A and B are shown apart, each in its own frame.
Chain A
Amino acid sequence: MKSPCQWNETVTLPSKNDAVFRNGDYNFAYLDEQTKRMIRRALLKAVAIPGYQVPFAAREMPLPYGWGTGGIQLTAALIGPRDVLKVIDQGADDTTNAVNIRSFFERMTDVATTTLVQEATLIQTRHRIPETPLRADQILIYQVPLPDPVSRLEPRGTERANMHAFGDYGLINVKLYEDIAQHGSVAMAFDYPVIVNGRYLASPSPIPKFDNPKLHMNPALQLFGAGRERRIYAIPPFTSVRSLDFDDHPFTIQPWDESCALCGAPDSFLEEMTVDDRGNRQHICSDSDYCAQRRATQPAHVRHQEAMP
């Protein structure tokens, strides 16, 4: 089992004859070693200052900006031949973008991939945190479109840099105040901003706020990559993460009245499916691996209804 720090051993420059050079024209994991080092330096800084957005020189990747280039670059800088990679999008391993990113790394590294959370050493994700609790020897890599929660309120990066530098977060709290005044509660359901380690305001990426509690004191190293915006930040293992709220309006998550129609899970994030033209709906786990593993361990007679064709 690999500890999150052991990627150091893959830093040694591979020679052209090493097996890590796949695909003839490209270095192991696509990025050249200099670029990987640049990203690792940014990562070290990010881990040292939890929640602080470290600028880094994102490269053009062969996937478009906005499609996970930040996460892909982090994965490329971290992955070694003995890693096991899992890629999810919207919680599922088999959505088109997850499939595409996973196949990119299969092609560029030949490392093993998996859909099982417990087998993975690196998990790259878009918009979800797995339901299965993570361990200290795992790294969760988030794809981040807009790393700065204040950018919705203040488009100027220079001004936002000042806000972060001086911990001047009045503006984002104004947004919370206004939501409560107008709607009775905070009108942010995903990408719900957090304070990391009592200091920096950060975006958890567009995960549903249902997942926010999992950020807090998580044993795994959580890394965030925003390629287009050229920022890397981190939540180190066992770090406090507080979702913004007021004393008299504490942060809450959305519950469901339903359970998963496939595995019966009462506590996972459910996707609402419209199953026919009459608008009938069904609720199913968004985390496909979690759902499949639950179903696999259930005796046949307690299984819930089977998947629809």
Chain B
Amino acid sequence: MTALLSGRGLTRMFDGKNGCAQIDIDLHPGEVTCIVGESGSGKTTLLNLLSLQLRPDAGSLYYRTDDGARIDLGLASEIDRRRLMRTEWGFVRQNPRDGLLRDVSAGANISERLMANGARHYGALRDTAIDWMRKVELDHGRVDDLPRDFSGGMQQRLQIARNLVTGPRLLFMDEPTAGLDVSVQARLLDLLRTLTSQLGIAILIVTHDIGVARLLAHRLLVMRRGRIIETGLTDQVLDDPQQPYTQMLVSSVLPV
């Protein structure tokens, strides 16, 4: 299988100690990859490097475009990087406050990326927004409501809709279920599983919750102290962890 996004030797350190170092990683179309690790393990730094929010101190990042060409994102122009970020990629933040426009309606939130790409018909935008609210199981009668009138789980679904509206090929998610009640988490995970199998996009999820990984991920990366210490298919890693640290992680959680 040809990787959609590949990192080689990615390194970014802060204060000489925190960060991540010498990371090799491949994300494949239609595959959900989870990075697990405790806080401070460097998983968020890696996520930010892969999603172009941070520049690496060293290492390269390659992206395979629709027509099969492989481009070096470190050398790509800012125009190309921005185009990728607002069309072919999506980013779901841990806190919906950071990923939503707080002062405009759900409809406007979903429409933003389409308008940034030139959509000029209000009626069509609104119809698309309503359609996406249905797909993420939100009450489409609330298309004109502000995000703050939605519950935490609904805000997360709104954030997902807002990212998926341009039909991205790659979605980054930073702890998407943290801060949600267990039942709400379960529903969101269920929705994510349905969407990923329907849409066939590549997803990278960063989480400290092995339960999330177990439910969603095809592939698992375990990080500790800025390094990937174990990687493999999810079942393989969870059922037969090789590293003592991974064994500890796996045994310390209850099954979802």
Contacts and interface: CB of A to CB of B under 8 A. Distances in A.
Q: Do chains A and B touch in the complex (CB under 8 A)?
A: yes
Contacts of B111: 174, 177
Interface residues of A, number: 19
Nearest to B121: A247
B108 interface: yes
Given A171-B112, A174-B108, A177-B115, A248 B122 contact: yes
Interface stretch (A45-53, A99-107, A178-186, A197-205): A178-186
A177 B125 contact: yes
Closest 5 CB pairs of A and B: A170-B116, A173-B115, A246-B122, A178-B104, A178-B108
18 contacts: A168-B86, A169-B115, A169-B116, A170-B86, A170-B112, A170-B113, A173-B112, A174-B104, A174-B108, A174-B115, A175-B104, A177-B104, A181-B107, A181-B143, A182-B144, A246-B122, A247-B120, A247-B121
A180 B79 contact: no
Contact of B105 (A162, A165, A173, A182): A182
A248 B121 contact: yes
A174 B121 contact: no
B129 to A, nearest CB: 9
B78 interface: yes
B73 interface: no
A173 B116 CA distance: 8
B105 A246 contact: no
Interface string A122-151: 000000000000000000000000000000
Contacts of B108: 174, 177-178, 181
Contacts of B144: 181-182
Contacts of A166: 78-79, 82
Interface string B187-217: 0000000000000000000000000000000
Nearest to B119: A173
B101 interface: yes
B113 to A, nearest CB: 7
A166 B78 CA distance: 9
B105 A178 contact: yes
B78 A246 contact: no
A59 interface: no
Contact of A180 (B115, B116, B122): B122
Contact of B101 (A168, A169, A174): A174
Interface in B100-143: 101, 104-105, 107-108, 111-113, 115-117, 120-123, 125-126, 143
A171 B86 CA distance: 12
B192 to A, nearest CB: 25
A82 interface: no
Contacts of A41: none
Contacts of B104: 174-175, 177-178
A182 to B, nearest CB: 7
A37 interface: no
Nearest to A166: B82
B122 A249 contact: yes
A177 B107 contact: yes
Interface in B63-92: 78-79, 82, 86
B122 A168 contact: no
A99 B111 CA distance: 47
A169 B114 CA distance: 11
A156 to B, nearest CB: 15
A182 B146 CA distance: 11
Interface string A89-118: 000000000000000000000000000000
Given A166-B79, A168-B82, A177 B122 contact: yes
Contact of B121 (A170, A178, A246): A246
A181 B121 contact: no
B39 to A, nearest CB: 28
Contacts of B121: 246-248
Contact of B115 (A170, A181, A248): A170
